[in-house]
Structure 1
């Protein structure tokens, strides 16, 4: 990757108190050698993975997200369950998010604006809202893993994040936070 590119994505952060509550469900798996948990600080809902974009596109993406933050109000989401993900070839333990009209519309607007401006590779995959909690060992995937939840939280922000790959995994750098209207 050249120095003129940055690997980035757009995400919806979840309230930290809610994340602490969710982590209590996973406490008994802390010492499981087949799971590599992501730190709570990295838990988020990715709306759009942009991949490697030019530095010029960082500014343009911020302009797009500035417009979008003015158009959308904060909204509630429902955290459904913790399970293996994706279903057909599990590689993760993820917190599944219930699709709502607000979430679909926000993601659609971001995707369309990025596409019109030819920024990143956003929108190529189907949108399955989730939060990655842990990565699974390739050698030992549990046959069943499901924890039902009934948790609601409010989405108040859109984050534009740089993701640097290191030998220890990905490192996230917040480029800019956008606040949705109340």
Structure 2
């Protein structure tokens, strides 16, 4: 059995602090929602599932050139959405606005690198988003979507992407960064 891995872009602390200031006071108002903690906020590029060690090494080798050939870009999150539908939402999220095309291109290159490493990439069509909350049974989310839309936008320069090990525990997932891939032309940003 390997590690449960995914590739992602994480917002900097300035963005997570601003977003948490808006969400924090609302965390306990809907018992059916499990809000993601700020340290887990990310935009998934590719979910890889269980990856064997030899495939992980090849993946890291394949991702280096992806980072070197991808120029840092600006990304703006804003606009609420949900999966699967507002009448029975199981996931609430903020979508990508400016920079969505660049994010999608990076995700495509990451997925290709994973496939070339012999890793099956889970998921269908790429929908760039940052998950805020989940519900097991689904909720009527229209008022939540309207509220989240009032939060405005959150932007930053995407300077890198991460290979993350996600260990499932009874207390929730534990994320550990295995590798950070700096993008071309990026200034190192504090995390």
Q: Return the TM-score normalized by structure 2.
A: 0.84
Following TM superposition, the consecutive aligned residue runs of length 4 or more in structure 1 with deviations greater than 6 angstroms are none
Q: Is the 1:84–1:144 contact (alpha carbons within 8 Å) kept by the matching residues of 2? A: no
Does the alignment pair 1:90 with 2:89?
yes
Range moving further from structure 2, 7-16 or 26-35 = 26-35
Distance 2:170 2:109 in 1: 35
Per-residue CA shift, 1:31-55, capped at 9, x if unaligned?
Answer: 2222211110110000000011111
Q: Is the 2:3–2:52 contact (alpha carbons within 8 Å) kept by the matching residues of 1? A: yes
Does the alignment pair 1:121 with 2:121?
yes
- How far did residue 20 of structure 1 move? 1.1
Match of 1:170 among 153, 173, 185: 173
Q: How does 1:39-118 map to 2 (within 5 A)?
A: 39-87=37-85, 89-98=88-97, 100-118=100-118
**Count of matched residue positions in the alignment of Structure 1 and Structure 2:** 178
Change (3 A) 1:139 1:12: closer
Range moving further from structure 2, 169-178 or 28-37 = 28-37
Does the alignment pair 1:26 with 2:23?
yes
Provide the alpha-carbon RMSD of the alignment: 1.9
Distance 1:120 1:71 in 2: 23
Structure with more strand by fraction: 1
Range moving further from structure 2, 92-101 or 127-136 = 92-101
Per-residue CA shift, 1:51-106, capped at 9, x if unaligned?
Answer: 11111111111111111111111101121223433336521221111263311221
Gap runs ≥5 in structure 2: 186-191
2:34 counterpart residue number? 36
- How far did residue 26 of structure 1 move? 1.5
Structure with more helix by fraction: 2
Q: Return the TM-score normalized by structure 1.
A: 0.88
